[in-house]
Structure 1
Amino acid sequence: MSRVRLLAMLAAVTLAGGVVAVFNMLPAAAATCAAQWQASAVYTGGGTVSHNGRNYRAKWWTQNEAPPGTTGVWEDQGACGGSTPNPPTQTGTTGACSFPAWVQGRNYVTGDIVKFTDGKFYIAEHDNPGYSPVVSTWYWDPYACSGGGGGTTPTTQPPTGGNGGFVVSEAQFNQMFPNRNPFYTYQGLVNALSAYPAFAKTGSDAARKQEAAAFLANADHETGGLVHIVEQNTANYPHYCDMSQPYGCPAGQAAYYGRGPIQLSWNFNYKAAGDALGIDLLRNPNLVQTDPAVAMKTALWYWNTQSGPGTMTPHNAMVNGAGFGETIRSINGSLECNGRNPTQVQSRVQAYQRFVAILGVGVGPGALSC
């Protein structure tokens, strides 16, 4: 608009009844650019970044995908540093957060914030039909409220930094896995811990470190040092379909091969893990090799809830003193334990011994081997 025309409009509106209407005709205030996107950073649902002069909001967990990306994870919030105003922001009431209570079965969309029955707040990472925030942790992330004075501004937990009380530091994690695939990140593991809060937080400090070391040692063996995302022996792929299950193998007979830190395999494990996490992994098993958060959560699901060919979960084996050897039995005992493959067992044991040494504790009670 030319300066002459704008001055004419100002004069006309002033004569018509004051300058308030004039301000409504002016361009909206420029949006402030959010923090610059970084390839190495992990962003969770609700996180906002700027890239090439535009703001973007993450719909779910992401890393290494520059906005606007190709997967749909980034929602364009408009230009920043220009004439586009900031998007509306949900805020709490003065002095405290005020968001609606979660309702089972109600449809939620990405970005919705609720107060759950545990008194904590959660933000939706994905649209979902009312899944529980503490069960379907792929769909929800914890949400913190901070601020004071004249009001309270809710903010998501920081996407980077902090380890949520995890007994393994990032430096120790990097020491354990110096050649790891970028798919496996320390922060990705930390973010997944909320799905199973008892993991590495049960018992003494030494017991907690021993459980963390045991989990990571088995992951080290299964993935060659967190290098491999999928099972390397492709000849095994068609063998993981149990057609006796009523749901069969809808993604294809060769679709349920090992993926992720514990190499989740078999259609019945994908079905059970997906049900627990609120994700249809039976029909979409590839999520375990394409979404780092899903990969970590499926590994923790198995560790904390499944006994496999053993008699107890790996979590129970460590916190109840059965020993590292029982975690091997629960993960792959039918192929490795009782003398079936001592070389593979020894590989796991040696990794565990290295990792407890890094954490400064002993190997703990119970048998090392199986």
Structure 2
Amino acid sequence: MRSRVLGLVTAAVSTAALLTLAAPASAEKAAKSESPATTASGKAAAAFVVSESQFNQMFPNRNSFYTYGGLTAALGAYPGFAQTGSDTVRKQEAAAFLANVSHETGGLVHVVEQNTANYPHYCDRAQPYGCPAGHDKYYGRGPIQLSWNFNYKAAGDALGIDLLNNPDLVQKDSAVAWKTGLWYWNTQKGPGTMTPHDAMVDGRGFGETIRSINGSLECNGGNPGQVQSRIDKYKQFTQALGVTPGNNLSC
């Protein structure tokens, strides 16, 4: 379970590992005709190295909020994800992302942070834009538990979605939730020295993705049990995709 806080700046706060379920988003109605965005989403789904059947096998107990369709709809935001390098590298990256996501959310069971006492701590009042949605509205949500007002602002700006004013979208819209996870994976270094995406496509290994996500608490002997949990899930997922896990699995 999660013990980290995503941060673009250093912040000290107590983070609880327990999470809670969010209500599933309502199903979207099918459009009568395909828009360019819909067509692009369909192409992304067709090209994704993880099939819906494999996804369901990886997450047999997942919350219905975390849909495969939401994930594939989000892929267009970062077309390089799981589409860079050889077939092996693409599958390794998908497995690495899903393994870390699985660890963060208890197997895609949990959507939001449970410890409500922490919620007011995620508002950095020093930011010029403040916390317009409320001081207690920037708690951890989604597959990599986006938290803090400055991360909602940065992710929203990058994705073209006003998450600063509408943070609840991350727990109400499956595609938006997946996009925030992909935003972190593809653009943020966290406590590491590279993005998780770069770690996988440049051959630095799964261990570097752990460092970029929660290295300050888990790596270098900080919490070997949590590191091993991530590694075990990664090995399980690479096996499901028919590829080797590669080298440098630990941090």
Which residue identity lines up with residue 100 of structure 2 in the other structure?
A: N
Residue 296 (str. 1) matches residue 178 (str. 2): yes
Which residue identity lines up with residue 312 of structure 1 in the other structure?
A: M
When normalised by structure 1's length, the TM-score is 0.58
State whether residues 240 and 265 of structure 1, in contact with CA within 8 Å, keep that contact through their aligned partners in structure 2.
yes
Pairwise CA distance, 1:223 = 0.7
Pairwise CA distance, 1:197 = 0.6
Distance 2:224 2:74 in 1: 32
Residue 368 (str. 1) matches residue 244 (str. 2): no
Which residue pairs with 2:199 in the alignment?
A: 317
Distance 1:209 1:43, change over 3 A: farther
Aligned-pair Cα RMSD in Å: 2.3
State whether residues 42 and 188 of structure 1, in contact with CA within 8 Å, keep that contact through their aligned partners in structure 2.
no
Q: What is the correspondence of 1:13-162 to structure 2 with a 5 Å cutoff? A: 43=29, 47-48=31-32, 122=36, 141-143=37-39
Which residue identity lines up with residue 60 of structure 2 in the other structure?
A: P
Pairwise CA distance, 1:143 = 4.1
Which residue pairs with 2:14 in the alignment?
A: none
Which residue pairs with 2:169 in the alignment?
A: 287
- Quick one: which of 224, 229, 240 aligns to 2:111? 229
Gaps of 5+ in 2: 1-24
Residue 175 (str. 1) matches residue 29 (str. 2): no
State whether residues 207 and 318 of structure 1, in contact with CA within 8 Å, keep that contact through their aligned partners in structure 2.
yes
Report Cα offsets for 1:41-74 as digits up to 9, x if no partner.
7546xx03xxxxxxxxxxxxxxxxxxxxxxxxxx
Distance 1:142 1:245, change over 3 A: same
Residue 341 (str. 1) matches residue 233 (str. 2): no
Q: Comparing both structures, which one devotes a greater share of its residues to strand? A: 1
Residue 356 of structure 1 aligns to a residue in which SS?
A: helix
Residue 239 (str. 1) matches residue 126 (str. 2): no
Pairwise CA distance, 1:177 = 0.1
Pairwise CA distance, 1:352 = 0.6
State whether residues 207 and 364 of structure 1, in contact with CA within 8 Å, keep that contact through their aligned partners in structure 2.
no
Sequence identity percentage: 73
Distance 1:287 1:293 in 2: 9
Residue 255 (str. 1) matches residue 166 (str. 2): no
Which residue identity lines up with residue 324 of structure 1 in the other structure?
A: F
When normalised by structure 2's length, the TM-score is 0.83
Which one has more relative contact order, counting CA pairs under 8 Å at least 6 apart? 2
Pairwise CA distance, 1:237 = 2.0
Distance 1:233 1:311 in 2: 30
Residue 269 (str. 1) matches residue 151 (str. 2): yes
